[in-house]
């Protein structure tokens, strides 16, 4: 136990849209708590570049890839005994990004239904290790990302998706994770 009464084996996940400051907050929390960080890895994603050129063709593939990678990362953090702050969660994709693609028509209804069915079977079970705390951060919808963030992040590129999110200050304990949908930052 540290001076904040947070168990040394806790898993804290920071959620939010692209460019909102997840990695910055993750680093600050990890340093303060003497935890390890688990940062989203995008450098070796085989679908990301293709996705930015053709949303309709690659949105389902990209979401399945993220689901698999985030599932493995979540499992690894628990197998290592916790003590992590994570900068992107498995929970955001289904309720935010995959849903946005389905709503905008860049993912078919069949693909979205398949994705959400797989997500629910993998993640929304008592067998999947949920984080102890989920912190959602966001921007007001009218605020665009800072230009420095856009030029330093390859993920921004030119695209049709809105990079903004809503303000979300919810902190959701893991006990409610399996029954409470993550509604933040949509």
Catalytic machinery residues? 87
Tokens encoding 111: 């693909």
| Number of CB atoms found within 10 A of residue 77's CB | 21
Q: Are 59 and 93 in contact (CB under 8 A)?
A: no
Q: Distance between CA atoms of 173 and 101, rounded to whole angstroms? A: 28
Residue spans of alpha helices (H) in 2-152:
22-33, 48-53, 55-79, 91-92, 99-104, 109-122, 147-152
């Amino acid at each position: 136990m540290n001076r904040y009464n947070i168990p040394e084996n806790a898993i804290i996940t920071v959620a939010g849209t692209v460019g909102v400051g997840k990695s910055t907050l993750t680093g600050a929390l990890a340093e303060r708590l003497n935890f390890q960080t688990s940062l989203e890895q995008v450098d070796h994603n085989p679908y990301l570049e293709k996705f930015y050129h053709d949303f309709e063709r690659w949105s389902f593939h990209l979401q399945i890839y993220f689901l698999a990678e985030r599932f493995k990362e979540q499992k690894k953090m628990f197998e290592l005994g916790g003590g992590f702050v994570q900068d992107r969660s498995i929970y955001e994709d289904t309720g935010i990004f995959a849903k946005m693609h389905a709503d905008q028509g860049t993912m078919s209804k069949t693909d979205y239904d398949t994705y959400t069915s797989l997500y629910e079977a993998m993640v929304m079970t008592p067998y999947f290790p949920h984080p102890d705390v989920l912190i959602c951060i966001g921007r007001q919808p009218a605020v665009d990302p800072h230009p420095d963030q856009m030029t330093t992040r390859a993920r921004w590129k030119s695209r049709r998706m809105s990079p903004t999110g809503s303000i979300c200050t919810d902190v959701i304990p893991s006990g409610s994770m399996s029954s409470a949908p993550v509604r933040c930052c949509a």
